[in-house]
């Protein structure tokens, strides 16, 4: 028997835990602890424990599939690549759109970005960061000059007050939850703000159960209390920030008196006061947030408000502080860093910047140039263009994404994707989006490839190949390169390894310039920015100055606005959506993991006992949940951990898909949808 252990990085959430894959006779059969990672120190959550179970699922795609007469038939790679290359060549540049992926490696995102801009010459490239942290990227870049988590994961244990808002950390980033408990055992206060008393809330010292979407109101109210009591950090504001007067003028308005904030948010006055005092007087307060903050039409405002209170209290640039945006998917940070966005090349170099555009065009040497230096469409806008402007977008190439479960208002998404002339989906499993495709290409999972991913804390870590892919499945970057070669661009895609791609990318990306596979091949890896080969990486951002032109953070007056769709007489319930500990995103991997699927085999709608009583619904009874966009049939779960008037559905489950109900209302800047708040009604069946 041949047995070996291959150290790798977890393919699920953005925490970036390391573990070993156990490989027996060439096949992955289990996971085992890897103790040297400073992030998880040998521990993993249930998803990490069972991260081997889907790898050799009989459902894996093993051959290219081409749709003929409405049915998929197996095809050779030669036939599939030729068909795709011929079709792609037949479209004008901006008739094509590309969705890259937070699930694949940095190298593969770079390859896809280069393919989109250099081969298809389209501006329209995006990925699912649009649905989770687009507001973080836009909001933090606007106030700090960098749109990423400011501190590192182990650093959270140094905090004296951990303020968690809109993040069920214990279920969705469990090994970050462990750092919260470390801080708590060191004497930190934990404040939890959410409509649900989740497992994270149960560990908190203070639980603020607010209405989804009232984040700005709550934070402005806390800031008014801080300023009234003189608890702001005057020295930090004076030396390191602009905009204090404007911020003060806004938050001191009567709208944000404790009584008014209490009435809007549903949080008792005394609890708001206590939170403001603990937060501003701890000496080192950190804010952790996730999609509860970002997935709103006010997502960018919410993010800037989080930045405001941290600047007001001087909680930036030191251990135990910071604005810590917890990214949902393993490589969503990396996919953004690699320029899988419609406005930037790698390292957030703007496509509209002439010098950046010339730099990439010169380096890539496409004889017929690259996509013009104008911003493209975000994925949410692509869907609107497809339905509202017929013929403008005609073709789409989707790698490792499943918008038919993940995007808001699925009826709208289906209509949009069905209006395409040509759709290519590249994935490890047939998924709900793949069934709509013209061609489906089988790709490799994390256990079958070398490469890097960048976790939520900007730590760039390695995947290592543990087994061969099933059947004829190929690496994503190899597939992309083969299509490029068939379209006449072999010279630009002549890489022989992921490492060669990383080297090309790092040479074009200042924040990754000091990294290489030798330096990354160690337990602590490296945090970006890492501009030179001698640089140790940057676990904490903004220590001496912010990334703004004058080095100062920008405090911003943010008036509170309600969400787009509020409960009314017809649709009286506020729906919020999210995840659970057992499943991950659209369930393509975790629902093929027997142990995880056994734990939570289907979705549910969580409701307060008084709401259930008013509806005449008993626990586990099936109900209809209905919004203005669609309806689903789903099991009721009655619990007093959710706020009365609010209901919750996890979005993983196709048979009761939460996104049949959600609204495609977008933040005007980030174009992120308001997945966290819409109006529904519920009927007993």
Which parts of this chain interact with ligand SF4 (CB under 6 A)? 10, 12-13, 15-17, 40, 44-45, 47-48, 173-175
CB of 402 to ligand SF4, least distance (A): 18
Helix, strand or coil for residue 161?
A: strand
CA gap 9, 11 in Å, rounded: 6
CB of 684 to ligand SF4, least distance (A): 36
Q: Which two tokens stand for residue 121?
A: 């010459």
CA gap 38, 45 in Å, rounded: 15
For 314, phi then psi, to 5°, come to: 70, 30
Q: Which two tokens stand for residue 613?
A: 């009583």
Q: Order the strands of the 189-193 sheet from edge to edge.
A: 206-208, 189-193, 161-165, 285-289, 323-325
Between residues 592 and 629, which has the closer beta carbon with respect to ligand SF4? 592
CB of 512 to ligand SF4, least distance (A): 21
CB of 90 to ligand SF4, least distance (A): 42
Question: Is residue 116 a contact partner of residue 371, using CB atoms and an 8 Å limit?
Answer: yes
CB of 48 to ligand SF4, least distance (A): 2
Q: Pairing relation of β-strands 395-399 and 96-99?
A: parallel
Between residues 237 and 462, which has the closer beta carbon with respect to ligand SF4? 462
Nearest Cα neighbor of 526 from 337, 311, 261 is 337
Residue 250 host element (H or E)? helix 244-251
- Nearest position to ligand SF4, beta carbon: 48
How large is the angle between the packed helices 106-114 and 476-486, nearest 10 degrees? 20
CB of 22 to ligand SF4, least distance (A): 15
Residues 297-329 as b or e (16 or more Cβ within 10 Å = b) = bbbbbbbbbbbbbbbbbbbbbbbbbbbbbbbbb
Residue 142's CB is within 10 A of a number of other CB atoms, namely 17
Residue 454's CB is within 10 A of a number of other CB atoms, namely 30
CB of 327 to ligand SF4, least distance (A): 11
Between residues 172 and 346, which has the closer beta carbon with respect to ligand SF4? 172
Between residues 13 and 157, which has the closer beta carbon with respect to ligand SF4? 13
Between residues 5 and 91, which has the closer beta carbon with respect to ligand SF4? 5
From residue 469, alpha-carbon distances to 23, 430, 447, 464, 508 in Å are: 13, 16, 8, 13, 31
How large is the angle between the packed helices 269-281 and 215-228, nearest 10 degrees? 70
């Amino acid at each position: 028997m041949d047995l070996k252990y291959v150290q790798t990085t977890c393919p699920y959430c953005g925490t970036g835990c390391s573990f070993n894959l156990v490989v027996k006779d060439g096949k992955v059969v289990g996971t085992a602890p890897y103790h040297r990672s400073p992030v998880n120190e040998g521990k993993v959550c249930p998803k990490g424990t069972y991260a081997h179970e889907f790898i050799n699922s009989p459902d894996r795609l093993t051959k290219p599939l081409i749709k003929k007469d409405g049915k998929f038939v197996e095809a050779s790679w030669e036939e599939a690549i030729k068909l795709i290359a011929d079709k792609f060549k037949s479209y004008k540049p901006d008739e094509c759109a590309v969705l890259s992926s937070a699930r694949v490696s940095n190298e593969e995102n770079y390859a896809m970005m280069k393919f989109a801009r250099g081969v298809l010459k389209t501006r329209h490239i995006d990925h699912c960061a649009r649905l989770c942290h687009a507001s973080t990227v836009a909001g933090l870049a606007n106030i700090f000059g960098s749109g990423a988590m400011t501190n590192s994961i182990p650093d959270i244990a140094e905090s004296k007050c951990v303020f968690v808002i809109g993040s069920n950390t214990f279920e969705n980033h469990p090994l970050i939850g462990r750092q919260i408990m470390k801080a708590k055992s060191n004497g930190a206060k934990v404040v939890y703000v959410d409509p649900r008393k989740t497992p994270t809330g149960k560990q908190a010292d203070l639980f603020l159960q607010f209405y989804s979407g009232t984040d700005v109101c709550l934070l402005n109210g806390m800031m008014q209390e801080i300023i009234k009591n003189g608890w702001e950090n005057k020295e930090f504001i004076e030396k390191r920030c602009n905009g204090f007067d404007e911020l003060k003028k806004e938050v001191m308005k009567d709208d944000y008196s404790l009584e008014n904030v209490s009435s809007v948010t549903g949080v008792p006055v005394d609890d708001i006061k206590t939170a403001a005092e603990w937060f501003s007087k701890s000496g080192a307060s950190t804010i952790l947030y996730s999609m509860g903050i970002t997935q709103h039409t006010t997502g960018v405002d919410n993010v800037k408000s989080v930045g405001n209170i941290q600047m007001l209290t001087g909680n930036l640039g030191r251990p135990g502080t910071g604005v810590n945006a917890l990214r949902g998917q393993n490589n969503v940070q990396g996919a953004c860093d690699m320029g899988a966005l419609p406005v930037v090349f790698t390292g957030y170099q703007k496509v509209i910047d002439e010098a950046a555009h010339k730099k990439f065009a010169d380096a890539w040497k496409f004889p017929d140039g690259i996509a013009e230096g104008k911003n493209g469409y975000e994925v949410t806008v692509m869907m609107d263009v497809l339905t509202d402007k017929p013929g403008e977008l005609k073709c789409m190439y989707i790698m490792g994404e499943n918008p038919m479960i993940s995007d808001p208002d699925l009826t709208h998404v289906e209509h949009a994707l069905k209006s395409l002339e040509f759709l290519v989906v590249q994935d490890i499993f047939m998924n709900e989006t793949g069934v709509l495709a013209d061609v489906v290409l089988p790709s490799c999972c994390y256990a079958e490839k070398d490469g890097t991913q960048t976790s939520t804390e900007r730590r760039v870590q390695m995947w290592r190949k543990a087994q061969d892919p099933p059947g004829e499945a190929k690496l994503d970057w190899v597939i992309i390169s083969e299509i490029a070669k068939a379209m006449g661009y072999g010279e630009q895609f002549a890489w022989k390894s992921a490492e060669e791609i990383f080297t090309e990318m790092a040479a074009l990306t200042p924040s990754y310039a000091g990294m290489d596979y030798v330096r990354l091949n160690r337990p602590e890896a490296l945090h970006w920015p890492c501009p030179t080969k001698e640089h140790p990486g940057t676990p904490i951002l903004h220590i001496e100055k912010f990334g703004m032109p004058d080095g100062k953070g920008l405090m911003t007056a943010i008036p509170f606005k309600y969400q787009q769709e509020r409960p009314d007489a017809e649709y009286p319930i506020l729906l919020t959506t999210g995840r659970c500990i057992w499943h991950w995103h659209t369930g393509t991997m975790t629902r093929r993991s027997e142990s995880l699927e056994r734990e939570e085999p289907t979705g549910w709608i969580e409701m307060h006992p008084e709401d259930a009583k008013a509806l005449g619904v008993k626990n586990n009874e099936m109900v209809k949940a209905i919004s203005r966009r669609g309806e689903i049939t789903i099991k009721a779960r009655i619990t007093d951990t959710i706020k009365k008037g609010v209901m919750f559905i996890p979005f993983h489950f196709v048979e009761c898909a939460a996104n049949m109900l959600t609204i495609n209302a977008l933040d005007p800047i980030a174009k992120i949808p308001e997945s966290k708040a819409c109006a529904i009604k519920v009927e007993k069946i």
